Structure 1
Amino acid sequence: MIKVAIAGFGNIGQVRAKELDKNENTKLVAIYDIKKPDNLNEDIKFCESFEELLKEDIDAVFVCAFNNVLADFTNQALSAGKHVFCEKPPARTSAELKSVMETEKQSDLVLKYGFNHRYHYSVIEAKKIIDSGVMGKLLWLRGVYGKAGSIDYHKNWRNYQKYSGGGILIDQGIHMLDLMRYFSGQKFEHINSFITTSYWDIEAEDNAFAIMQSDDKVTAMLHSSATQWKHKFLLEMCFEKGSINLDGILSGTRSYAPEKLIVARREHEELKFAMGKPQETITTFEYDDSWKLEVEEFVGAILDKQSIKNGTSQDAYETLRLVERIYENSGFYSDK
């Protein structure tokens, strides 16, 4: 039985707690948050500081706190001999994350980062098709991830750079960037970007636009938005022999649903009326087990002493560095 603690018991921390309760190999024994939650199970100890939490008899820590303490908490936990599961983004900056990676190198502990979207069934199935090679060479990717932003969006801590490291790009767009890297296997070296605050009265960005290209000439386009008004998740990928689209993604609110995988093959282009209208196979997914699957990989890596496959520190670093370079190219924050 792996004894687990959670640092940061907001919405995501509570989601993690539910999955840990379902897992037969884990037991949640302690939490830390700035405020003691109502109706906390009496078997779970409430700690008033992260340092107090680390003194508990625990094997692993889930770090679900504000972005400005993610690297520090992860470093402290690893140094205290605890396995760590840390939410995305891995840190506010790549420099903060580099410090964590140095600590990780000096230990034999498991460190995993929560890039949850990789565990959605549409993503899993798309990855299988791409890896099989049946679609041929990847030509380009185009992704849109947009949300409406609540009426109090301007008050959210995620829009204060000192806490979050940025705005909608590092908060939500980072998931799309991770998937683009995951599916393409490319390192996007060439970037053009525009970062804007179009509507909300916030210091961070509410829209991010980027065009990126690898040395292999694979091009990716991204729009991450907090002014979409109707929630939207769409990742289109075009290959030599067809296309794969991820349209919609399941979430707690189901406001991005339905989650669909759309696969089309290039064929019959010599026929006058068939060109540009390939037959599509559409698969709709009704269940989201991504939170469970993430926890299972983390727990399995601890019990079986295996390496993490999804959400390694190197993966997290490459994706975070891509976020940084999009910011840097735009000059948005350097101009402030």
Structure 2
Amino acid sequence: MVLKIGVVGFGKMGRIRKATLDARSDARVVALADPYADMSDQQGVSRHTDWEKLLEEDIDAVVISCTNELIPTVAVAALAKGIHVFCEKPPGRNPQDVHRIRDASLQHPELIVKFGFNHRYHESVEQARRLVSSQSLGKILWMRGVYGKAGGPEFDKNWRNEPSRSGGGILLDQGIHMIDLFHDFCGTFTEVKSFVTSQYWNIPVEDNAFALLRNDEGQVGVIHSSATQWRHTFRLEIFLEKGFLTLEGILSSTMSYGKETLIVARNTFDENGYPLPNPEEVISFFADDRSWEKEMTEFVTCALAGDAIKIGTVQQAVDAMETVFAIYGADKSWNQSGECEQSA
């Protein structure tokens, strides 16, 4: 069987998703919808300006790559028509949006719903996960993550900085990936402290968020999400009882985050069992980004076989969104949380 798929939203991500699906033999994109994008180069598929028309096509699944405010409406409508759903992150503008998708998915347990948290599929992350799961380095004590970019030309005019359309700023747009990785390694957090600011860009959403997170096991996460990181940076440090892991750089289409590497350091101890400083580091380099391919492999194969999603689940999306908004809400001087609730 070949899964027939429609793509709603044909900007950068929609094109990436279609190219990834076009390389498969068990899936075929048959319809596109976007009110603004030039789709004249896409032959052999039906093209629409209205996503509702696309959902009337004979399709088995839909990839939703549109702006945040439309995501829950399209997802809920697709599920009501018996169509499997793949959504980009973030899964809407606020927790209420993703709760709508969750509630609709519970009404249709036979359908697959998956969200685009592709960072879990990067090779550095997969290797780090295997090392942590092996317990060879002991238990995680704490983590520190920095994910930031410089904004770019006309960053302040981008729809991602319009609260009614996006729901939030850099933390919701990019930092949510780091939060999802924190959850991957340590589970969800129950205590949150934060500073959320708009320091440089003249925008009504945050351009920096700093947060301290702690879970019921006492593990602590420190995150900085920034749109004033003039040198693009992805770095995740995981400190354990017997060593540490550092994930530096992340492969992307622009390569602006540098080479993707994983540093593994195992502690050495003196004769009394005390850890010695600066353990030897072993560095691995990764040349290929197969995250998009792996992500779509799980979606397509689960939709065809009726198997459960393991990465990018509805609950993982709910957890990530709720942590983002817990960070917004923990800074009482930042009113973004209230604004987003009103826009729901």
TM above 0.5: yes
Question: Shift of the alpha carbon at 1:268?
Answer: 3.5
Amino acid of the structure 1 residue aligned with 2:210 = F
Question: Shift of the alpha carbon at 1:41?
Answer: 2.2
SS at match of 1:71: helix
Match of 1:135 in 2: 137
Question: Shift of the alpha carbon at 1:269?
Answer: 4.1
Inter-partner Cα distance in structure 1 for 2:33 and 2:158: 21
Inter-partner Cα distance in structure 1 for 2:239 and 2:39: 49
> Are 1:79 and 2:73 matched, yes or no?
no
Inter-partner Cα distance in structure 2 for 1:39 and 1:230: 36
Q: TM-score, normalised by structure 1?
A: 0.96
Question: Shift of the alpha carbon at 1:270?
Answer: 5.1
The size of the alignment, in residue pairs, is: 333
Question: Shift of the alpha carbon at 1:275?
Answer: 2.9
Paired residues of 2:145 and 2:222 also in contact (CA < 8 A): yes
Match of 2:252 in 1: 251
Question: Shift of the alpha carbon at 1:304?
Answer: 1.6
SS at match of 2:35: coil
> Are 1:17 and 2:9 matched, yes or no?
no
Match of 1:35 in 2: 36
Amino acid of the structure 2 residue aligned with 1:49 = D
Match of 1:167 in 2: 169
Amino acid of the structure 2 residue aligned with 1:48 = T
* Matched-pair identity in %: 43
Match of 1:315 in 2: 316
Match of 1:60 in 2: 61
Amino acid of the structure 2 residue aligned with 1:142 = R
Inter-partner Cα distance in structure 2 for 1:145 and 1:308: 26
Match of 2:342 in 1: none
SS at match of 1:40: coil
SS at match of 2:160: helix
Match of 1:95 in 2: 96
1:186-215 deviation line (CA, Å, top 9, x unaligned)? x21111101101111111110000001112
Match of 1:8 in 2: 9
Match of 1:156 in 2: 158
> Are 1:276 and 2:281 matched, yes or no?
no
SS at match of 1:34: coil
Inter-partner Cα distance in structure 2 for 1:34 and 1:48: 4
Match of 1:122 in 2: 124
Q: Which runs of 4+ in 1 moved over 6 A?
A: none
Q: What does residue range 129-278 of structure 1 map to in structure 2 within 5 Å? A: 129-185=131-187, 187-269=188-270, 275-278=276-279
Question: Shift of the alpha carbon at 1:38?
Answer: 4.4
1:114-162 deviation line (CA, Å, top 9, x unaligned)? 0010010000111011111111111000000010111210001001111
Question: Shift of the alpha carbon at 1:333?
Answer: 2.2
Question: Shift of the alpha carbon at 1:48?
Answer: 2.0
Match of 1:333 in 2: 335
SS at match of 1:188: coil
Amino acid of the structure 2 residue aligned with 1:86 = C
Inter-partner Cα distance in structure 2 for 1:67 and 1:226: 19
Inter-partner Cα distance in structure 1 for 2:271 and 2:180: 37
Amino acid of the structure 1 residue aligned with 2:33 = Y
Structure 1 gaps, min length 5: none
SS at match of 2:190: strand
Inter-partner Cα distance in structure 2 for 1:213 and 1:235: 16
1:233–1:270 CA distance, 2 compared to 1 (3 A): farther
1:208-244 deviation line (CA, Å, top 9, x unaligned)? 0000111211010000000010000000010001001
Match of 2:105 in 1: 104
Q: TM-score, normalised by structure 2?
A: 0.94
Paired residues of 2:35 and 2:48 also in contact (CA < 8 A): no
Structure 2 gaps, min length 5: 340-344
Paired residues of 1:36 and 1:46 also in contact (CA < 8 A): no
Paired residues of 1:236 and 1:244 also in contact (CA < 8 A): yes
Question: Shift of the alpha carbon at 1:255?
Answer: 0.7
Paired residues of 2:260 and 2:287 also in contact (CA < 8 A): yes
Inter-partner Cα distance in structure 1 for 2:304 and 2:114: 14
Inter-partner Cα distance in structure 2 for 1:9 and 1:299: 19
Paired residues of 1:233 and 1:247 also in contact (CA < 8 A): yes
Inter-partner Cα distance in structure 1 for 2:68 and 2:331: 22
Question: Shift of the alpha carbon at 1:292?
Answer: 0.4
